[in-house]
Structure 1
Amino acid sequence: MLTLQPPQLLFSFTLITGIFIAISSSSWFILWMGLELNLLSFIPILTSSSNRYSAEAALKYFLIQALGSASLLAACPLSLIFSHLATLIISSALLLKVGAAPFHFWFPPVMQGISWLQSLTLMTVQKITPIAMMNSLLHEMSTQIIILSSISSSIVGALGGLNQTLTRKIISYSSINHMAWLLATVSFNENMWLIYFASYTLISASVVAILHSAQIFHFNQLLTMNLLSKPLKLSLFLSLLSLGGMPPLLGFLPKMLVIQEFIFTHTSLIWLMSLLMSALLTLFFYLRMALSSLILSSTKLKTSLHENFSPSPLILPFLNLSPLLYPLVFLIIY
């Protein structure tokens, strides 16, 4: 059972406070203060892990985020003289903070050195402020920068996860690929990225809950999942398919909304094709993970997972089946 120590609770509270300060401020200086409060709260959370690589991951994360924050702070006075250069620096700093390509180099190594719950925070909560800033600065930011970063993220996220055997790196490249879709939603409207981000957070939480409960960090460990834990395997299978956007699961709905918006607004066809082709490639390594746990099991590798197995990780994954209930909800309402 997960228990948080008082220091972790304190830093978690200040982390959330930093996000609210940043997204609600109308001043660049207060926004920067919120970003720094969020950063300085997340570093102790990273180092609280018993993993021996957590200090290295925390140092990498600190250096990258400090570079992004320093770039933001330097771009503010620069905007009075060179507005276009300042816009480019701000856009690059925000893309660096969220780990979008071509500034993604730090994201997989940091994910590899931290625990699953910290990885979930890094993939979801830590992206709220930069994405909200991108949405508010959309008119000042160049559309070409967003398109280039989105296409690059889709390609890097899809190709980077193909040859990985470490599950945290696979999920990190998956997050980079989903960042491409999030950048596309940011370019449309605020409601769109909120819907996509909320769906992605729920699905990622369902995958991380299973991998954390079974303590799976390597691809081979998927083979050691006990043959008796079939509900665990089924829930992992559904969660990974939902993360890949397979209908009629939850992950399909936000992607369908994005595709509809692309068609209705006559946005770049090349952009849409890169997102769709990368989604097929990511679905391939999701299926490889799911089938490894579902089919390629060996009785010789059997562990005692069923002895200490808790049904709590199974609650979140079955939220992926919630779209099947939507017609019933509409019938009740109307």
Structure 2
Amino acid sequence: MNPLIWALIMTSLSTSTIITMSSNHWLLAWLGLELNMLSALPMIMKQNHPRATEAATKYFLIQATAATMIMCATTLNAWQTGQWTIMYTPSNITTALMTAAIMMKLGLAPVHLWYPDVMQGSTMTTALIISTWQKLAPLSLLFMILNNLNLTILTLTGLLSATIGGLAGMNQTQTRKIMAFSSIAHMGWLLVALALNETLATLTMITYILMTSTMFMTLHNTATKSIQDLNTTWSMSPALATTTMLALMSLGGLPPLTGFLPKWLVIKELSTTSPTTA
């Protein structure tokens, strides 16, 4: 891809996320989400391969559907309340539609089936962006409407995502699909943390982004596309092989690595606090 075009896409991607995160008006946030989606599509399609085309098509359809749901919810909210303010969404129907749309954008269970296919059809760099940066805009909206959400449903959805992500990832051999299911599981942990404590959710998100970025960069540098490829990593670069092992263990939440901390805090918070009263 032409460096100028790549720079334009990355600028658009960054700007759209910042617009959504800093907006207080639903239309502006929706505009940021749409620009974010349109910026990601060329990155997914840059491979001249049928799988990349399939991934881009699935990504577009899912994101467009979620954007339509958000627009319907915001229009309904404006009709009922006379306001377009993000923080003011008292209607249960609006909140339910908005939550479903955001979960679809994040690839959470039970609307997660598109996510592994899109990851598999993308390059490692694009998969890294989809797994990390593309999560920020929808999550920021979720943070902003948190006071109007049903925390019990949020917790149950998070637990479902964590369970499905963990179990489905065990049967995979392709590293990008494994990372996709890992992302689904970690987003589930993040939802549970969000229902309990916003600060804990922020810590979980930062930890997830750092660990996932580390893992994708090591996979990219070693050109590892399947589990079998990991067999030759040690002979190529012992340092990268060690980093990969540590990153995987951290993603799994093994102590005393970084990934253990948010999971431990979430479980500790769950054992002492009811999500409905958090």
Same structural fold, with TM-score higher than 0.5 when normalized by the shorter chain? yes
Cα gap change, 1:249 to 1:226, in 2 (>3 Å): closer
Aligned position for 1:16 = 14
How far residue 257 of structure 1 moved from its aligned partner, in angstroms, is: 2.3
| Residues 51 and 115 in structure 1, CA contact (< 8 A), matched pair in contact too | no
Identity of aligned residues (%): 37
> Is 1:219 aligned to 2:212, yes or no?
no
Equivalence for 2:253: 245
What is the number of residues matched between the two proteins?
266
The residue that corresponds to 1:118 in the other structure is 126
The AA in structure 1 aligned to 2:102 is L
**Matched residue of 2:147: which SS?**
coil
Q: Is the 8 A contact 2:252 2:259 kept in 1?
A: yes
Helix, strand or coil at the partner of 2:214: helix
Confirm or deny that 1:62 pairs with 2:60. Answer: yes
Cα deviation, residue 225, structure 1: 2.9
Aligned-CA RMSD value: 1.9
Taking the aligned partners of 1:194 and 1:21, their CA distance within structure 2 comes to: 19
Segments of structure 2 that go 5 or more residues without pairing to the other structure are 81-89
Question: Which residue of the partner structure matches residue 107 of structure 1?
Answer: 115
1:22-64 deviation line (CA, Å, top 9, x unaligned) = 1111111111111111111111122223554222211110110
Contact 2:132–2:213 under 8 Å retained in 1: no
Q: Is the 8 A contact 1:75 1:89 kept in 2?
A: yes
Q: Normalising to structure 1: TM-score of the pair?
A: 0.75
Match of 1:262 among 262, 265, 270: 270
* TM-score in terms of structure 2 length: 0.90
CA 87–235 in structure 1, closer or farther in 2 if over 3 Å, else same: same
Partner of 1:129 in structure 2?
Answer: 137
Q: How does 1:137-176 map to 2 (within 5 A)?
A: 137-176=145-184
Distance 2:273 2:174 in 1: 39
Partners of 1:126 and 1:187 in 2: how far apart? 21
CA–CA distance in 2 between the matches of 1:151 and 1:216?
Answer: 30
CA distance in 2, matches of 1:12, 1:189: 32
Report the CA distance shift for 1:228/1:97 in structure 2 as closer, same or farther (over 3 A): closer
Matched with 2:87 is none
Q: CA deviation at 1:266?
A: 4.0
Check the 8 A contact 2:124/2:220 in 1, yes or no: yes
* Cα-to-partner distance string for 1:118-148 (whole Å, 9 max, x where unaligned): 1111111111111111111112122232122
**SS of the residue 1:247 aligns to:** coil
Aligned equivalent of 2:86: none
Give the SS at the match of 1:26: coil
Residues 250 and 258 in structure 2, CA contact (< 8 A), matched pair in contact too? yes
Q: Report the Cα offset of residue 83 of structure 1.
A: 2.5
Alignment partner for residue 95 of structure 1, among 98, 103, 110? 103
Amino acid at match of 1:252: F
Following the alignment from structure 1 to structure 2, what is the Cα–Cα distance between the partners of residues 193 and 143? 13
The match for 2:34 is: 36
Trace 1:40-51 onto structure 2 (pairs within 5 A).
40-51=38-49
Q: Which amino acid aligns with 1:5?
A: P
Q: Do 2:13 and 2:36's aligned partners in 1 also have CA atoms closer than 8 Å?
A: yes
Aligned to 1:72: 70
SS in 2 for 1:93: helix
Q: Distance in 2 between matches of 1:50 and 1:202?
A: 30
Instruction: Give ranges in structure 1 of 5+ residues lacking alignment.
Output: 269-334
Residue equivalent to 1:202:
210
Partner AA of 1:18 in structure 2: S
CA contact (8 A) 2:254 2:260 kept: yes
Q: Mean alpha-carbon deviation: is it higher for 242-251 or for 226-235?
A: 226-235
Over 3 Å counting, the alpha-carbon distance change for 1:267 and 1:87 in structure 2 is closer
Give, in whole Å, the separation in 1 of the partners of 2:48 and 2:243: 28
Residues 23/226 of structure 1: CA separation in 2 closer, same or farther (3 Å cut): closer
Distance 1:74 1:251 in 2: 38
Partner of residue 7, structure 1: 5
Matches of 1:51 and 1:217 in 2, distance apart?
16
Which string of whole-angstrom CA distances, capped at 9 and with x for unpartnered residues, describes residues 148-179 of structure 1? 21121011101111111111111111110001
> Cα distance, 1:212 vs. partner?
0.8
Whether the 8 Å CA contact 1:135–1:187 is kept in 2: the answer is no
Contact between 1:53 and 1:113, CA under 8 Å: does it hold in 2?
yes
